[in-house]
Amino acid sequence: MDSIMIYVPIIMAIIGLLFMWIKRAWVLKQDAGDGKMKEISDYIYEGALAFLKAEYKLLTFFVIGASIALAVVSFIVPTTHILIVVAFVFGAFFSALAGNMGMKIATKTNVRTTQAARTSLPQALKVAFGGGTVMGLGVAGLAVLGLTTFFIILFHFFMNGTWTSTEDMTIVLETLAGFSLGAESIALFARVGGGIYTKAADVGADLVGKVEAGIPEDDPRNPATIADNVGDNVGDVAGMGADLFGSYVATVLAAMVLGNYVIKDMGGNIQDAFGGIGPILLPMTIAGFGILFSIIGTMLVKIKSNDAKESQVQGALNIGNWVSIGLTLVACFVLVKYMLPETMKMEFFGEGLKDISSMRVFYATVVGLAVGGIISSVTEYYTGLGTKPVMAIVQKSSTGAGTNVIAGLATGMISTFPTVLIFAAAIWGSYAFAGFYGVALAASAMMATTAMQLAIDAFGPISDNAGGIAEMSELPKEVRTRTDILDSVGNTTAATGKGFAIASAALTSLALFAAYVTFTGIDGINIFKAPVLAMLFVGGMIPVVFSALAMNSVGKAAMDMVNEVRRQFKEIPGILEGTGKPEYGKCVEISTKAALREMMLPGILTIGFPIAIVILGKLVYSDNDQLTAEMLGGYMAGVTVSGVLWAIFQNNAGGAWDNAKKSFEAGVEINGEMTYKGSEAHKAAVTGDTVGDPFKDTSGPSMNILIKLTCLIGLVIAPILGGHAVETGVALKGQEVRVEMMVMDDDAAEATVSYATIVNGKEVVKEKRFVGTTLEVKAQVEAFRDGVKVQIEQ
Amino acid sequence: MDSIMIYVPIIMAIIGLLFMWIKRAWVLKQDAGDGKMKEISDYIYEGALAFLKAEYKLLTFFVIGASIALAVVSFIVPTTHILIVVAFVFGAFFSALAGNMGMKIATKTNVRTTQAARTSLPQALKVAFGGGTVMGLGVAGLAVLGLTTFFIILFHFFMNGTWTSTEDMTIVLETLAGFSLGAESIALFARVGGGIYTKAADVGADLVGKVEAGIPEDDPRNPATIADNVGDNVGDVAGMGADLFGSYVATVLAAMVLGNYVIKDMGGNIQDAFGGIGPILLPMTIAGFGILFSIIGTMLVKIKSNDAKESQVQGALNIGNWVSIGLTLVACFVLVKYMLPETMKMEFFGEGLKDISSMRVFYATVVGLAVGGIISSVTEYYTGLGTKPVMAIVQKSSTGAGTNVIAGLATGMISTFPTVLIFAAAIWGSYAFAGFYGVALAASAMMATTAMQLAIDAFGPISDNAGGIAEMSELPKEVRTRTDILDSVGNTTAATGKGFAIASAALTSLALFAAYVTFTGIDGINIFKAPVLAMLFVGGMIPVVFSALAMNSVGKAAMDMVNEVRRQFKEIPGILEGTGKPEYGKCVEISTKAALREMMLPGILTIGFPIAIVILGKLVYSDNDQLTAEMLGGYMAGVTVSGVLWAIFQNNAGGAWDNAKKSFEAGVEINGEMTYKGSEAHKAAVTGDTVGDPFKDTSGPSMNILIKLTCLIGLVIAPILGGHAVETGVALKGQEVRVEMMVMDDDAAEATVSYATIVNGKEVVKEKRFVGTTLEVKAQVEAFRDGVKVQIEQ
């Protein structure tokens, strides 16, 4: 029987989407300005739509191809249901829909922010953050709505809406993994493709416009200008949105998988007010309440004074953020107390079954909420304007580009020290509190305020665009000053947002990794087996090569752009005098095509390697799927560890270089002399920033997708590796199902059911154990015996 | 009873050292030139001695401190013997001695090479390579002599020179690990300190000399010139020598440890012509023969024509190299056949005991020899003059320093792809052939020709110095042309040598890692335990932070040098006119002090972290040393995987940038135009090279030491983690030692001895199993029962 609790997340999601719709209507009602402003804004909007259209076309092919592959898998592997294809398609669709809504509102909000900035700073903030809120709630609302709805459907389809066994629930969750895989696949296109797009347009516009033609940035005579502005939205809005959408869904899914195994460890079923699936519902419910608290948080983001500075704007964002985090903390406490059994049993590898009180699960969520905040602060320390590491890079610029680059690289590298130590402590801590279920719930708690995080994050590129429009439309200086304040805050939130994104990706991957191990039923991943160790090495290499490919892609795509801009300068008469009209659309098209073309190779690398490892393992160890599963696990661990390191390194180095360069705008003291833009030191800093651009906007953020997608593919492949088939209780036709029961005293019994099944083509006798009160065990054994499906094979 | 075979490696080592002595006398007998040449050469020699002296002073303190720490450990841990301290001191001493001899001969050979180049190119090659040969044979001879002698002494001390049991041999090898630890500690100073020294002097000399004072490179008026030339010897000769000395010793040691466990897997003893320790002696013997074949190889390196080009010189080196590798291959076949039982039993984790024929061990050595060669070729492809990746960097230089840097980074990153795949295949392959013993023997075979590799390697910096002396002494142009040919070949061998060094470090670390796991007696390393996974993350971070620290150190040390040179330019009258005499010694001193000061922090990081993890583990899991051992193992794996990646990335990026810059000397075609030195593109390439310098000469090569030292420290710590105590058969006082014997037929029996012992403070009943012929088993059981030590504890 369903508990009403199962529908609570859906209700929250719908509230979130309703609020989003109201906010959206409000934003669209704002004055969109006139004349040149509107014209430029329309170009950006159309460019963004053009990218989305091209992306959707490619996506359609991809989704069809992947669906066929998944369908084939579902035919080969008896425990994988064809419904996984439906889940996959919907996951992809929901993620694309969220991205679409986000991009549209962001490109509509920018010009309205510019217009609002003509009135006052508080109004500009309200509009810009309103746009961000629409984006955030859209992503979070659709994610929770989609995931929860699908779960309920599958729960009814496979289990009739009533708890039967961990094995049946595993089939539900394995099918649900398709939804997550779909969402993350879109993220691959949006984040990697978007990252290439934004930098290709940026670099291409600069190389010909600024360097060759000598016209300033954001000049409407440059045909690549619009593509550049579209890029901000494609990369920073749609890319980040898809990234967090994917993390959000994957985290909740992994926590549900591990919740299912908590129930298993407790003897196969529990009695609670939620139909016996409290530990599975909990992560969804936390996500639901997180949407509610994010709404409250967004409502607190406002300033009163028109003379407010960066610190007040940042303060307003912080208040909203901390309130939503604080409320989530309280909700975690209440929900954990309410929804979980007071004491649970959890299996700790090598330490056996332990009694875990529900309070310990709450502590794990505290760890998750704390980590999100701390990592953001650490990121800010290494990349913020005026911080010690950034000022050190500024100083090193005086001796040339070489020393500036070395200093930036070293800063990014050293920033891994505190970040990784915090991760390690978080993994260890949340695991010590409540096993891998604790790790997954730490991630869930952290992701609960995704809507708020995204609102803060999307507000940055919106303000950036607003400033660009102000500049291009030659509005009064005070307008630009106001948007600059918002933009400057946006730069900080962009850096901390990247910290949040990588922290979430890391914890999500670990939770998926844990779900993978439990799905395959292996005894852990022993890197003292040489094939596993070899795969750990290979996994470690992938993020490095992926990053290099992404960086090279930016270079190649930028060259396409350069050639197109050169062509237009030559062929369109009067273009440089401002009388001829540049073909903005052509540049958008070039950038779009190049981005989607160039993301192919990294994409194939990401998807192909796990599959290649499974094939290799199956070929070499045809009689030992468990070893193949361990090899794939070693690969996943290698990708995750190395990917997290390279993400931190690249994001922070890039962020630090960027702000080191920006420091020259206000002037910096080097060796006792004030140094400004245009100095030799500034030129050195510009070189550093050029290196940092693909680091922080393309290859660095792509790592998030790489590690999550790798672990998700592992999870989807898991059933092929057989371990799971052992658990479902498929007995052979004609084989007796034998039950051995031992009543220990009046109230406790233990039973073992043995049956023959097929594992990797061989007949194997399997056992299933039940423990509990005598009556319970008897009932379970009966249910099991009745439920055993008889295979057609002889 | 000893077999004579045990003394064979010593004899080979002595032959090697004798040959070295003869070669040394020959080199020293060569004409050392006159006038300015001699003066400059003397300065370099004295500068090198000054560095060595300062290094030895610091080393003395370090060795005393580390010895005390080791002595304390040997008091706390009953199975660690105080003799480990003696082994440690001797290991450090032998490595330092080898470094000393190498540095001295290199700094004596340089001017003699210059002088020989006045006569002919063949003669110059003969002298330069003669110096390299002395270096190579000194390192290899001392390594084998020291390790083998110590092994024999300990074998007699602990076991009376007769095989008793794996447990007793474990104590011998654990003590011998002290020798390896001593050697690797020196490598830390030589490689990391040397790496900082060489780049600090280089950068410091350039920044003030070239940039500020406008005098050319290698100009004797620059006070830092001598330090710069000393740096080449300190970094490339002594650093590389100590690195390979350490790898050589550690590899052989690890193979011996694993050989001991092969004997254990075969029932605790074997009958062979080598006193029952054939599998343990084999790696030492291969090393011994390797010295002999290296001598033969070096004798083949010669050219006839005075008009020879780079390709002929390279060809001569190749012939020598391939002949020595080929002979080693043959020796491996013969020795494996001769020294190993025809069929062995080896335990494969998760797959049980397997029968392994000795031929499979031979195949593993083939894998090792092949990997060494292939990795060198791959390195050459990514870094060599005129190769596709290097030319791509050259092309990217036309759009500025930023794109040049990105291209270089991307090249280094992509180069991890084939390299890691080859490693993974080598690990998997050699393990599939003969377990971790196979991995260790692959490494041993690869390292067997260390003398030859080092001869080729040291020949480079000698030729480089010879060219510098020719320049500074204003010798005729043909002299410089001849040394340039040698120098150019030396650049190639430097790159391939780095490939060899990292390949050897990687395989050595894996062998040590395997030895660690067997020493601690854990069931492998399961990264599905969160604390272990957390340590995998932490381990992965260490190489990144270590690299950053080393890079920053170069910057700081270079600034010290800059200040000193500025001071001399200001205070010494007539220095820039060539009438005042620069104080070269001061610069050497500054560089020396800075290098040794700056290597402290990375050193502490390397040594401190494993110890901190053990302390942390002991505190948190006081009742579970096995988990702590797994955590340390996870850390070791993280350091190794990440360290190998960062070594490849940094070495190859640095090498590629260097040659991209060098390409401009002969001119390159960019966008259809020939471009030369002094162009904007060249300046961009110089910036790339500045970034690459610390990459390829400081942080990149340091990774080798970091990963080996980490694994060695783990190995030395292993006995503290208790697993080992279980294996030694320490029965409790008053407890019966029970024997259960089963005679299976006339000729085969199996016995189990059970006894009580203390593990982690708890009484545990342990079993020891014997199999073999009935008589053998009886004898072994008796020996074991007699040998059981009765603990004083109640």
By DSSP bridging, strand A730-731 and strand A789-790 are parallel
Q: Do B115 and B128 meet the contact criterion of CB atoms below 8 Å apart?
A: no
Q: Which among A526, A537, A686 has CB closest to B525?
A: A526
> What tokens does A46 get?
């159309």
Beta bridge partners of B766: B755
Q: Is B627 on the interface with A (CB under 8 A)?
A: yes
Q: Could you say which DSSP state residue B80 is in?
A: S
**Confidence (pLDDT) at B429:** 93
Q: Do A551 and A691 meet the contact criterion of CB atoms below 8 Å apart?
A: no
Summarised one tens digit per residue, pLDDT across range A36-65 is: 888 888 888 888 888 888 888 888 888 999
Q: Is A629 on the interface with B (CB under 8 A)?
A: no
Q: Could you give the C-alpha distances from A739 to A736, A767, A782, B198, in angstroms and in order?
A: 9, 9, 10, 75
**Confidence (pLDDT) at B665:** 84
**CA A654, CA B88: separation in Å to the nearest integer?**
44
**Confidence (pLDDT) at B310:** 84
* pLDDT for residue A593 is more than 70: yes
Residues on chain B touching A519 (C-beta within 8 angstroms): none
Q: Chain A 409-468, CB below 8 Å of chain B: which residues?
A: 409-411, 413-414, 416-417, 420-421, 423-425, 427-428, 431-432, 435-436, 439
Dihedral sign, CA of A106, A107, A109, A114? positive
Q: Are residues A641 and B645, on separate chains, in Cβ contact within 8 Å?
A: no
Summarised one tens digit per residue, pLDDT across range A642-701 is: 999 999 999 999 999 999 998 898 888 888 888 888 888 999 999 999 899 999 989 999
Helix (H) or strand (E) holding A771: strand A762-772
Q: Are residues B528 and A424, on separate chains, in Cβ contact within 8 Å?
A: no
Biggest alpha carbon–alpha carbon distance for chain A: 96
* pLDDT for residue A769 is more than 80: no
> If DSSP codes are grouped into helix, strand and coil, which group holds residue A754?
strand
* pLDDT for residue A310 is more than 50: yes
By DSSP bridging, strand B789-790 and strand B730-731 are parallel
Q: Which residue of A has its CA nearest to B405?
A: A691
Split at pLDDT 50, 70, 90, the class of B741 is low
Residues on chain A touching B531 (C-beta within 8 angstroms): 428, 431-432
Q: Are residues B537 and A403, on separate chains, in Cβ contact within 8 Å?
A: no
**CA B660, CA B682: separation in Å to the nearest integer?**
9
* pLDDT for residue B297 is more than 90: yes
Split at pLDDT 50, 70, 90, the class of A706 is very high
Summarised one tens digit per residue, pLDDT across range B559-606 is: 888 888 888 888 888 888 878 888 888 888 888 888 888 888 998 999
Q: Could you say which DSSP state residue B398 is in?
A: G
**CA A65, CA B563: separation in Å to the nearest integer?**
64
Q: Could you give the C-alpha distances from A29 to A25, A130, A395, B540, in angstroms and in order?
A: 6, 12, 48, 52
Amino acid at A178: G
Q: Is A257 on the interface with B (CB under 8 A)?
A: no
Q: Is B352 on the interface with A (CB under 8 A)?
A: no
Interface test with A, best of B437, B528, B601, B693 (most A CBs within 10 A): B528
Q: Are residues A349 and B529, on separate chains, in Cβ contact within 8 Å?
A: yes
Looking at CA atoms only, how far is residue A187 from chain B in angstroms? 24
* pLDDT for residue B764 is more than 80: no
Q: Which residue of A has its CA nearest to B400?
A: A687
* pLDDT for residue B636 is more than 80: yes
> What tokens does A370 get?
């704390």
**CA A91, CA A93: separation in Å to the nearest integer?**
5
Q: Are residues B540 and A641, on separate chains, in Cβ contact within 8 Å?
A: yes
Summarised one tens digit per residue, pLDDT across range A722-739 is: 644 333 445 555 555 666
ipTM summary value: 0.87
**A76-80, A156-160, B279-283, B656-660: range with lowest mean pLDDT:** A76-80
**Confidence (pLDDT) at B294:** 95
| Residue spans of alpha helices (H) in B188-273 | 194-205, 225-232, 240-265
Q: Do B204 and B565 meet the contact criterion of CB atoms below 8 Å apart?
A: yes
**Confidence (pLDDT) at A741:** 64
**CA A406, CA A688: separation in Å to the nearest integer?**
9
* pLDDT for residue B646 is more than 90: yes
Beta bridge partners of A455: none
> If DSSP codes are grouped into helix, strand and coil, which group holds residue B138?
helix
Total beta-carbon pairs less than 8 A apart between chain A and chain B: 228
Which stretch, A201-215, B30-44, B315-329, B660-674, has highest mean pLDDT?
A: B315-329
**Confidence (pLDDT) at B498:** 85
Q: Are residues A551 and B401, on separate chains, in Cβ contact within 8 Å?
A: no
* pLDDT for residue A230 is more than 70: yes
Give chain A's mean pLDDT: 87
Amino acid at A5: M
Residue with tokens 């057989």: A722
**Confidence (pLDDT) at B726:** 38
Split at pLDDT 50, 70, 90, the class of B782 is low
Q: Which among B403, B420, B436 has CB closest to A541?
A: B420
* pLDDT for residue B44 is more than 80: yes
**Confidence (pLDDT) at A733:** 53
Domain segments of chain B: what residues?
A: 4-727, 730-790
Split at pLDDT 50, 70, 90, the class of A117 is very high
What percent of chain B shows pLDDT beyond 70? 91
* pLDDT for residue B369 is more than 70: yes
**Confidence (pLDDT) at B251:** 92
Q: Which among B406, B541, B641 has CB closest to A691?
A: B406
Angle (nearest 5°) at CA B299 between B293 and B305: 145
Q: Chain A 691-730, CB below 8 Å of chain B: which residues?
A: 691, 694
Helix (H) or strand (E) holding A545: helix A530-571
Displacement of CA A18 from its chain's centroid (Å):
24
**Confidence (pLDDT) at A789:** 46
Summarised one tens digit per residue, pLDDT across range A373-384 is: 899 889 989 998
Residue with tokens 């002097």: B201
Which stretch, A225-239, A754-768, B732-746, has highest mean pLDDT?
A: A225-239
**B74-83, B257-266, B476-485: range with lowest mean pLDDT:** B74-83
**Confidence (pLDDT) at A228:** 86
**Confidence (pLDDT) at A231:** 87
What percent of chain A shows pLDDT beyond 90? 44
- Crossing angle between the packed helical segments A240-265 and A278-299, to the nearest 10 degrees: 150
Give chain B's mean pLDDT: 87
Summarised one tens digit per residue, pLDDT across range B262-291 is: 998 888 888 888 888 999 999 999 999 999
* pLDDT for residue B43 is more than 90: no
**Confidence (pLDDT) at B780:** 65
Q: Do A715 and A519 meet the contact criterion of CB atoms below 8 Å apart?
A: yes
> What tokens does B42 get?
């003397």
**CA B698, CA B606: separation in Å to the nearest integer?**
15
**CA A282, CA A438: separation in Å to the nearest integer?**
12
Q: Do A651 and A502 meet the contact criterion of CB atoms below 8 Å apart?
A: yes
* pLDDT for residue B730 is more than 70: no
Beta bridge partners of A271: none
* pLDDT for residue A269 is more than 70: yes
**CA B159, CA B156: separation in Å to the nearest integer?**
5
* pLDDT for residue B342 is more than 50: yes
B418: CB partners within 8 A, 6+ apart: B378
Picking from B467, B605, B457, B402, the residue whose alpha carbon sits closest to that of residue B111 is B467
By DSSP bridging, strand A748-759 and strand A762-772 are antiparallel
**Confidence (pLDDT) at B181:** 93
Picking from A394, A419, A384, A415, the residue whose alpha carbon sits closest to that of residue A491 is A384
Looking at CA atoms only, how far is residue B642 from chain A in angstroms? 7
Q: Which residue of A has its CA nearest to B411?
A: A548
Residues on chain B touching A410 (C-beta within 8 angstroms): 548, 551-552
Q: Which among B641, B649, B691 has CB closest to A537?
A: B641
By DSSP bridging, strand A343-348 and strand A352-357 are antiparallel
**Confidence (pLDDT) at B594:** 86
* pLDDT for residue A339 is more than 90: yes
**A383-392, A406-415, A722-731: range with lowest mean pLDDT:** A722-731
Q: How many CA atoms lie within 13 A of B68 on its CB side?
A: 5
Q: Which residue of A has its CA nearest to B513?
A: A528
